[in-house]
């Protein structure tokens, strides 16, 4: 129960910090989500980036998107006993075609460079549910009705471990 309460408290705090574009403290220094102005590039390039401890760990074109949002911020122990912080970030496309956006993970520690996962595409259904246990971090897309039209988005469950996603059946 202690872990569940801690998990529930971590999400709103992290999401609010990202929404306000305030840095989020991590084991490797502050995590900052930045847009064009902070990157000192042309405004029409439309770039979103993530820095950890002042180092660029993620950069991608994000034309027509809102700033990415932190949706989970948890800690875990690696197999060698190191403390790790696992931050789940969701990109936010503008418009109404999708009820979500690609999700990626930034994993940080004091000893090693940050690990950034490939994106896990998410377009719709209910909001992702994130849970962590001894086997890793699990992201469940509950599924549900599509954003527009008819039909249903199927439920999907993914496990994140050491920079990669594996679909769980």
Q: What is the pLDDT of residue 11?
A: 35
Tokens of 79: 């197999």
**Burial class (CB within 10 angstroms; exposed 0-12, middle 13-18, buried 19+) of 136:** middle
Among 67, 9, 71, 57, which residue's Cα sits nearest to residue 29?
Answer: 57
pTM over 0.95: no
- Is a pLDDT exceeding 90 seen at residue 7? no
More confident of the two residues 70 and 62: 70
Q: What is the pLDDT of residue 165?
A: 94
Residues 6+ apart with CB under 8 A from 129: 139, 140, 142
CA–CA separation, 106 and 163 (whole Å)? 8
**Strands, E assignment, 18-54:** 31-34, 47-52
Q: What is the pLDDT of residue 91?
A: 87
* Cβ density class 84-114: b for 16+ within 10 Å, e for less: bbbbbbbbbbeeeebbbbbbbbbbbbeeeeb
**What is the mean pLDDT of the segment spanning 84-93?**
90
H or E element, residue 141: strand 136-141
> Domain residues of the chain, as ranges?
2-168
H or E element, residue 14: helix 2-19
Tokens of 151: 């039909």
Q: What is the pLDDT of residue 76?
A: 87
- Is a pLDDT exceeding 80 seen at residue 1? no
């Amino acid at each position: 129960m202690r872990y569940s309460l801690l998990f529930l408290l971590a999400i709103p705090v992290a999401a609010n910090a990202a929404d306000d574009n305030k840095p989020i403290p991590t084991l490797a220094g502050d995590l900052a989500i930045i847009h064009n102005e902070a990157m000192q590039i042309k405004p029409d390039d439309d770039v979103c980036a993530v820095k950890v401890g002042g180092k660029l760990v993620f950069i991608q074109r994000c034309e027509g998107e809102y700033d990415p949002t932190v949706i989970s911020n948890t800690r875990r122990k690696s197999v060698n006993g190191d403390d790790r912080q696992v931050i789940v970030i969701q990109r936010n496309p503008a418009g109404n075609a999708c009820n979500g956006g690609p999700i990626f993970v930034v994993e940080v520690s004091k000893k090693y460079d940050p690990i950034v996962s490939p994106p896990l595409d998410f377009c719709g259904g209910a909001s992702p549910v994130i849970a962590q246990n001894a086997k890793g971090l699990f992201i469940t897309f509950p599924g549900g009705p599509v954003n527009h039209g008819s039909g249903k988005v199927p439920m999907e469950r993914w496990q994140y471990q050491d920079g990669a996603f594996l679909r769980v059946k």
